[in-house]
Amino acid sequence: DARVTQTPRHKVTEMGQEVTMRCQPILGHNTVFWYRQTMMQGLELLAYFRNRAPLDDSGMPKDRFSAEMPDATLATLKIQPSEPRDSAVYFCASGLLQETEAFFGQGTRLTVV
Amino acid sequence: GENVGLHLPTLSVQEGDNSIINCAYSNSASDYFIWYKQESGKGPQFIIDIRSNMDKRQGQRVTVLLNKTVKHLSLQIAATQPGDSAVYFCADNAGGTSYGKLTFGQGTILTVHP
């Protein structure tokens, strides 16, 4: 069945290291979202793509975070350098522009030590 | 420093009871609302949505009520089952044009006792 796939599911890294999280949206979906979930802030939107073009990344720390869609089947979220405060679960979601529901992946649990 | 974290509202019910989860939103320009269910270790899962031109929508065992006057949203779950235990989030599009660009509430923890 169609689903959003995120890799890796878990990542532990040392402060200062680069982290890359990957997302495969549901085939045919033209909108992709990156959300971050923490106990302190809940679910926050980091970035939003439509037809692979970044439309809104105002929720993302620009100095260390970057989000891209190299092609329609892959979205990436990169943190360089990572910091302990980046520890969170990062969710990717995809949907169709003309539809309403966004489908979420299982998330990547990131721990920066 | 101490990690305070969010203090999520909790609702504890017996199996078979009806559950009502409430949510308040702040942006009067929001015109699309959605409820998600999140089980432990999983991503949010769509339950039901409603547009602002409606005040009630029903699904299978779930009903969403929207009161735009007081900016209040509720999710009613009929005959609650242990499998309904999860964190429930309301979300809205905060007046934006994209249905997927959502602002989430803090969530409510629902615990269903057998």
Mean pLDDT of all residues in B65-89:
96
Q: Any CB–CB contact under 8 A between B98 and chain A?
A: yes
Q: Any CB–CB contact under 8 A between A2 and chain B?
A: no
Question: How far is A94 from A28, CA to CA, in rounded Å?
Answer: 10
Q: How far apart are the first and last CA of chain A?
A: 36
**DSSP assignment of A40-80:** TTEEEEEEEEETTEEEE-TTS-TTTEEEEEEETTEEEEEES
CB contacts under 8 A, A 25-84 vs B, are 31, 33, 39-45, 48, 50, 55-56
Closest by Cα among A92, A23, A73, A94 to B98: A94
Nearest CA in chain B to A34: B101
Residue boundaries of the structural domains of chain B: 10-100
- Asked if the model's pLDDT at residue A17 lies above 80, the reply is yes
pLDDT digits (tens, 9 = 90+) for A26-64: 999 989 999 999 988 899 999 989 999 988 888 898 899
Q: Give the number of other Cβ atoms within 10 Å of residue A105's Cβ.
A: 26
Question: How far is B77 from B85, CA to CA, in rounded Å?
Answer: 11
pLDDT digits (tens, 9 = 90+) for B54-76: 999 999 999 999 999 999 999 99
pLDDT, residue A57, reads 84
In the CATH hierarchy, which top-level class contains the domain B10-100? mainly beta
pLDDT, residue B95, reads 66
Mean pLDDT of chain B: 89
- Asked if the model's pLDDT at residue B99 lies above 60, the reply is no
Between vectors from CA B34 to CA B28 and to CA B15, what angle results, nearest 5°? 125
pLDDT, residue B3, reads 42
- Asked if the model's pLDDT at residue B100 lies above 80, the reply is no
pLDDT, residue A100, reads 65
Cβ atoms of residues B56 and B64 within 8 Å:
yes
Domain annotation for chain A: domains and CATH numbers: 15-93 (2.60.40.10)
